Amino acid sequence: MKTKQTIIVVGGGFAGINLVKKLDEKLFDIILIDKINHHQFQPLFYQVATSQIEPSSISFPLRNIFGGNTNVRIRLAEILDIKIQDNKIITSIGDFRYDYLVLAIGCKTNFFGNNEISKYAFTLKTTYDAITIRNHILQTFEDIISAKENEKESLLNMVIVGAGPTGVELAGSFAEIKKNILPKDYNGIDFSKLKIILVEGSKDTLNNMSKTAKTGSQKYLQKMGVEILTETIVTNYNGEILQFNNGNIIKTKTLIWTAGITANTIQGIPENWFSTANRLKVDRINKVIGSNNIFAIGDMALMETPKYPKGHPQLANVAINQAKNLAINLKKIIQGKEPVVYEYKDLGNMATIGRNKAIVDLPFVCFKGFFAWLIWMFLHLMLILSVKNKLIIFINWAWAYFTKNTALRLILKENK
């Protein structure tokens, strides 16, 4: 007789790993499936991309995280299809049956249907993306040294599209390494000609935050030398020329796209289960509306509540707490008890622009500057999974703060 229920969790992000951690091992056998073998700490991808920390500092092998959990099986695979009627998923390494299926596969970059831009733009959604950007940026400066004069303009223009937290943090980091680090490494380059351009379709940077955050971030960036283009839409990019809706163009070989996200999808899910941006419609306990035993948590889940009629913000804190709540509810469902509805308690937002410069946007107050920067660092360190990695990141930050150098500028490429 089967004593435990089988739960398949797809995705090892914030939502997936927190759910697996909290599920009762006496009640559930868990299969955790992901395409990569590690959890990625997305909030610090931009620091990998700008050579401030190593990718290993923010990457955590799943088998190490759950090494002591005898009820957790980890499988490295891609989900190809879901057979809803059969309670079965089809993967690249075989089929798996489930009693409950939890989807936590997050989001990908949204190019809003422009396939030409997607061919040539860099994205920042994975550790690999961050390493790719780091390689490209460092190689670009190597190329500038030997480039002909008419080739240098496109190499010296670095464009970031999207002025949300990721775009703002990237722009600020690039501005700092332009000032403090790159002139030491490449003393043959005139860095006064290096342009860091931040493009935003709305009126403000950090458009989803408070007025203080919007104006404060813009002033910080402009003071650091970042050129900001607001109310500007990118219409096309061919790897060399960036075109805007106002007719202007910029020559650039570096376009980093942080302008939007859309949820990842899996074949086999009925179209009417989806809402805007491919998010799955879920009820107040994260069960997918229309299903009996399929749940969605994190960025891909759209839960409409009186406080959030358009769904919760796609933040790590939402994903973590939805996962914890679902773990409680799955136990209650098995025990025949009334589940607990989820509601997000807004703890605020934050973004760092650079050294001693950050903005903390709380529900009751917004502040910026050195104290905000310290809070940003502390809270991000607390979210890092292992003590060893917390210490490594803290040492890297401290070293960079006092020396204004990181010595992590490695170009890592595979041999042809």
Kindly report the CATH number assigned to the domain that includes residue 269: 3.50.50.60
Task: Determine the average pLDDT of the residues in 122-144.
Answer: 93
Looking at the structure, tell me whether residues 123 and 100 fall in a common domain. Answer: no
Q: Does residue 152 fall inside a structural domain?
A: yes
Distance CA 278, CA 273 (A): 9
Q: Does residue 367 fall inside a structural domain?
A: no
Neighbours of 315 (CB within 10 A): 18
What DSSP string runs through 159-228? Answer: EEE--SHHHHHHHHHHHHHHHHTHHHH-TTS-GGG-EEEEE-SSSSTTTTS-HHHHHHHHHHHHHTT-EE
pLDDT at 150: 87
Looking at the structure, tell me whether residues 242 and 134 fall in a common domain. Answer: yes
* pLDDT at 408 exceeding the cut of 70: no
Looking at the structure, tell me whether residues 240 and 177 fall in a common domain. Answer: yes
Neighbours of 68 (CB within 10 A): 7
Distance CA 407, CA 52 (A): 8
Q: Does residue 12 fall inside a structural domain?
A: yes
378 and 43 Cβ atoms separated by less than 8 Å:
no
pLDDT at 48: 93
The Cα-based distances of 221 to 45, 198, 233 in angstroms read 19, 9, 20
Q: Does residue 57 fall inside a structural domain?
A: no
Looking at the structure, tell me whether residues 169 and 187 fall in a common domain. Answer: yes
Domain boundary among 259, 282, 309: 259
Looking at the structure, tell me whether residues 141 and 164 fall in a common domain. Answer: yes
Distance CA 224, CA 228 (A): 11
Q: Where do the H-state alpha helices sit in 96-151?
A: 115-120, 127-146
Looking at the structure, tell me whether residues 129 and 189 fall in a common domain. Answer: yes
Q: Does residue 373 fall inside a structural domain?
A: no
* Phi, psi angles (nearest 5°) of residue 19: -65, -50
Closest by Cα among 106, 105, 139 to 122: 139
Q: Does residue 395 fall inside a structural domain?
A: no
Kindly report the CATH number assigned to the domain that includes residue 242: 3.50.50.100
Looking at the structure, tell me whether residues 157 and 142 fall in a common domain. Answer: yes
Looking at the structure, tell me whether residues 101 and 144 fall in a common domain. Answer: no
Domain boundary among 335, 352, 376: 335
Band (415; pLDDT cuts 50, 70, 90): low
* pLDDT at 221 exceeding the cut of 50: yes
Q: Does residue 199 fall inside a structural domain?
A: yes
Q: Does residue 357 fall inside a structural domain?
A: no
Domain boundary among 335, 354, 385: 335
Q: DSSP secondary-structure letter at 78?
A: -
Looking at the structure, tell me whether residues 15 and 130 fall in a common domain. Answer: no
- Number of domains making up the chain: 2
213 and 366 Cβ atoms separated by less than 8 Å:
yes
Q: Which domain covers residue 283, as residue numbers?
A: 5-35+77-109+261-335
Closest by Cα among 42, 56, 57 to 169: 42
Distance CA 312, CA 346 (A): 10
Looking at the structure, tell me whether residues 91 and 163 fall in a common domain. Answer: no
Looking at the structure, tell me whether residues 312 and 182 fall in a common domain. Answer: no
Q: Which helix (H) or strand (E) segment is 325 a member of?
A: helix 316-335
* pLDDT at 1 exceeding the cut of 60: no
- pTM equals 0.91
Tens digits of per-residue pLDDT, 354-391?
A: 989 999 998 888 889 999 999 999 999 988 888 888 99
Distance CA 201, CA 53 (A): 30
